[in-house]
Amino acid sequence: MLLNCLKIKGGGVSVLSGGYLKKRLLRIQVGYLLSEGPGNSRTIPIAFSQRVQVDEDLYLDALTGNLALTRTKEGILALGALQVTHTRECDRCLKAFTHHFGLDVAELFALRSDASKSDFYIDSNGEIDLAPLLREEVLIEESYRAVCQDGCRGLSAASGNDLNEMDEAPELLEAEADEGLAIDPRLAVLKQLLL
Ligand SMILES: [Zn+2]
């Protein structure tokens, strides 16, 4: 069963709003796995090929992959590899571009009575919510510098013009290239907190 299709069928058109899928689609019912007991698992295909909301200010253009959900003594262990498509700003020329990246998920959703075991838990309806987890992971990914294309020339230090569209000599380009894809120091702190 495809998570996306299943939920859209059940929820009707109300899940589509302003051209994106609402974030409640990121909730997965795991009640049946809880009753089956430890050791049981299911692999859930995740197939969002259109814009989906993750938080008030965070949308993904696509989210696909597989998530293996295993009932453990502590709750539900979610393991999987997801592919994310997200529009973000190029760190050199500041233009929005489509960024694709892989996301490895390995997270315990604790039983409600055991919420101290993890930041994530199974709610009273027997559902796990992927949205807070995705938000955290996407923020970490976005804390790394990324460019719209190999060799993006960035903005001119003198005029502020996009050097990709001009013949202007990029004096500062080499220094900027040496910076590589270093993590923004302010966000490095956030990364440490999240690990
Ligand atoms: Zn760029």
Q: What is the pLDDT of residue 28?
A: 94
Question: For the residues of 22-45, what is the DSSP string, one character each?
Answer: -GGGGEEE-HHHHHH-TT-EEEEE
Poorest-pLDDT segment among 98-102, 122-126, 175-179: 175-179
Q: Choose the most confident range, by mean pLDDT, from 5-9, 54-58, 78-82, 111-115.
A: 78-82
Q: What is the pLDDT of residue 2?
A: 46
> What spacing in Å lies between the alpha carbon of 146 and ligand 1's midpoint?
8
> What spacing in Å lies between the alpha carbon of 61 and ligand 1's midpoint?
19
> What spacing in Å lies between the alpha carbon of 137 and ligand 1's midpoint?
23
Q: What is the pLDDT of residue 8?
A: 40
The answer to whether residue 182 scores a pLDDT higher than 90 is no
Comparison of pLDDT for 116 and 52, the residue scoring more: 52
> What spacing in Å lies between the alpha carbon of 96 and ligand 1's midpoint?
8
> What spacing in Å lies between the alpha carbon of 87 and ligand 1's midpoint?
13
Q: What is the pLDDT of residue 183?
A: 55
Q: What is the pLDDT of residue 187?
A: 62
- Confidence band for 10, pLDDT divided at 50, 70 and 90: very low
Q: Choose the most confident range, by mean pLDDT, from 17-21, 25-29, 154-158.
A: 25-29
> What spacing in Å lies between the alpha carbon of 183 and ligand 1's midpoint?
17
Q: Which residues of 64-83 are buried (b: 16+ CB within 10 A; e: fewer)?
A: ebebebbbeeebbbbbbebe
- Confidence band for 11, pLDDT divided at 50, 70 and 90: very low
> What spacing in Å lies between the alpha carbon of 89 and ligand 1's midpoint?
8
The answer to whether residue 128 scores a pLDDT higher than 90 is yes
Task: Confirm whether pTM is higher than 0.75.
Answer: no
What mean pLDDT is predicted for residues 52-71?
95
